[in-house]
Amino acid sequence: MQKWRIGDVTITKIVELESCGGAAWILPDAVPEACRDIDWLKPDFMDETGELKFSVHALVIETTDQLIVVDTCVGNEKERMPYKNWHHLQTTFLADFARAGFDPASVDCVLCTHLHVDHVGWNTMLVDGKWVPTFPNARYLIAKDEYDYFKRTDIAEFNQRVFNDSVAPIFHAGLMDLVETDHRVCDEVTLVPTVGHTPGHVSIQIESRSEQGLITGDFVHHPCQMARLDWGSTADLDGDAADDTRRRVFADCAETPTLVIGTHFAGATAGHIVCDGDAYRLIPFKPEFA
């Protein structure tokens, strides 16, 4: 399990799923023949043939006084067709969470960067035929604009299904706090608005002892988008706003000490953004291992 330190804060990566290939469904421009020339993606983010690597993982933040889980993956036993690789999963996520030294009952806060299927799944788990909160003593913080959009009955049926089994039970249990997209969670952790992928999408800024980190969420899906600034995602609700957000955040982080931790970045997962001609590249930062 990978770990990073930002001042007094520790971030641990808990992997649910990893994959290689098939990027075209989410990044249609990122076909192998177009990616092979981005040589710096190897070996962490791309294989020798040009197929991109992805990860679905949660990130656990330990501050001086809070235990925070960021994005809760896909989850087990959930109806997720037509995405057969996510349908009725039976992963070891909770066992791996415990193996990393964490107890779900000790989690103080759950942050969802947005409410897509692969970011809310372990908000709940199935107990006696009912979806119940996985982290029963936590406050689940969700941007109000995000919640208001996904609770609508006119969104896609699939998103309604995800909302009903992984978001609504949290609200009905009284564990949800609807917050602004710039909400301060605690002294070290703040939400940062990075809209476009979804209406209330946020990233997570971490600051401690003059060190900084940024957990991306899905304003960027893969480091290849740093090299090809015009490569958008099929899942971006507002493509123009998502493009503006990517360019703005890359520029803000480039040539700074900010450790960028990708929510779907495989391999090293984190690194520092540097300028590379008219675009950018990610210099991987090798983590500690638990």
Task: Show pLDDT as tens, one digit a residue, over the chain (290 residues).
Answer: 899 999 999 999 999 999 998 888 899 999 999 999 999 999 999 999 999 999 999 999 999 999 999 999 999 999 999 999 999 999 999 999 999 999 999 999 999 999 999 999 999 999 999 999 999 999 999 999 999 999 998 999 999 999 999 999 999 999 999 999 999 999 999 999 999 999 999 999 999 999 999 999 999 999 999 999 999 999 999 999 999 999 999 999 999 999 999 999 999 999 999 999 999 999 999 877 65
SS3 label, residue 184: strand
Domains and CATH numbers, the chain: 2-289 (3.60.15.10)
Tell me how far apart the alpha carbons of residues 215 and 272 are, in angstroms, rounded to a whole number. Answer: 12
Residue 41 DSSP class: G
Question: Distance between alpha carbon 134 and the CA centroid of its chain, in Å?
Answer: 18
Structure tokens at 191: 């939400």
Phi/psi at 193 (5° precision): -65, 125
Q: Which residues contact 168 (CB under 8 A, 6 or more apart)?
A: 151
pLDDT of residue 290: 54
pLDDT of residue 23: 86
pLDDT of residue 287: 73
Question: Taking the chain, what is the end-to-end CA distance rounded to the nearest angstrom?
Answer: 5
Q: Of 235, 244, 227, which is closest to residue 198 (Cα–Cα)?
A: 235
Tell me how far apart the alpha carbons of residues 81 and 99 are, in angstroms, rounded to a whole number. Answer: 30
pLDDT of residue 38: 97
SS3 label, residue 148: helix
Q: Of 288, 260, 287, which is closest to residue 274 (Cα–Cα)?
A: 260
Tell me how far apart the alpha carbons of residues 139 and 183 are, in angstroms, rounded to a whole number. Answer: 14
Structure tokens at 9: 């804060």
SS3 label, residue 199: coil
Q: How far is CA 234 from CA 25, 26, 186, 196, 231, in A?
A: 7, 5, 34, 12, 10
Question: Distance between alpha carbon 129 and the CA centroid of its chain, in Å?
Answer: 28
Phi/psi at 269 (5° precision): 70, -30
Phi/psi at 134 (5° precision): -70, -35
pLDDT of residue 1: 85
Tell me how far apart the alpha carbons of residues 221 and 117 are, in angstroms, rounded to a whole number. Answer: 14
Question: Distance between alpha carbon 188 and the CA centroid of its chain, in Å?
Answer: 18
SS3 label, residue 150: helix
pLDDT of residue 22: 81
pLDDT of residue 24: 85
pLDDT of residue 289: 62
Q: pTM for the complete prediction? A: 0.97
